[in-house]
Amino acid sequence: MEKKIPKKIVVTIDATHSGIVNGNYFMYLPDGMKSGKDSFTKPYNKPITDGHPKFYENEKETPVLGRVISSEYESYGLSDTMDSMGTRAENIVDAVQQTYKMQLADKDYKGLGSMKIKAEITDPEAITQILDKRKMTVSIGAYLDNARCSVCGSKWGDCEHEIANSYDGLVAFRVGGNMKFDHVAFVK
């Protein structure tokens, strides 16, 4: 007997984490993520896509698998200072470098918090792949109002520091400002 696939499912996803330097050498801060929480559902419910959307006319459209129905920032309670310091604080260099050292020192470190979303998935193939755990990881699409350098605190691009390079023991990465979320993509 063939197993019946539901017409829709609601899933809870840790869409992104604060206090982690990701593969794009960005660290998002708790306040920056919290500032964008409502953008997941306003002015409309953002899409859950199969991969990141394509931005060029000649590329194939990215399928929409469902929509975000709610979002909430969850603090892990690891850093009251970072949770409340804002995205433009003067002491950003010390705080983000200390947080990055926590990430390097602890293989189980999962960040300072996460943006948790609930999404309604309606695509039948995606439902099957989520249920059998072929679709398990996501990446966000977001816009930032600014980014700062982790080495000097300047607006990113206004200094000579280059991503992933070390300067007197400080690694250069971008520290994101306030976020506006555009989509969540299932990725491999």
Distance CA 72, CA 145 (A): 20
Chain-wide mean pLDDT for the chain?
90
Q: Taking the model in full, what pTM does it have?
A: 0.87
∠ at Cα 178 (174, 183), nearest 5°?
A: 90
Q: Would you say residue 132 has pLDDT above 90? A: yes
Mean pLDDT of all residues in 6-34: 95
* Per-residue pLDDT reduced to its tens digit, 133-178: 999 999 999 999 999 999 999 999 999 999 999 999 999 999 999 9
Secondary structure (H, E, C), 110-145: CCCEEEEEEEEECCHHHHHHHHCCCCCEEEEEEEEC
Residue 32: predicted pLDDT: 93
Q: Which residues, 6+ apart, have CB-to-CB distance to 177 below 8 Å?
A: 29, 32, 87, 88, 144, 145, 146, 147, 148
**Start-to-end CA span in the chain (Å):** 31
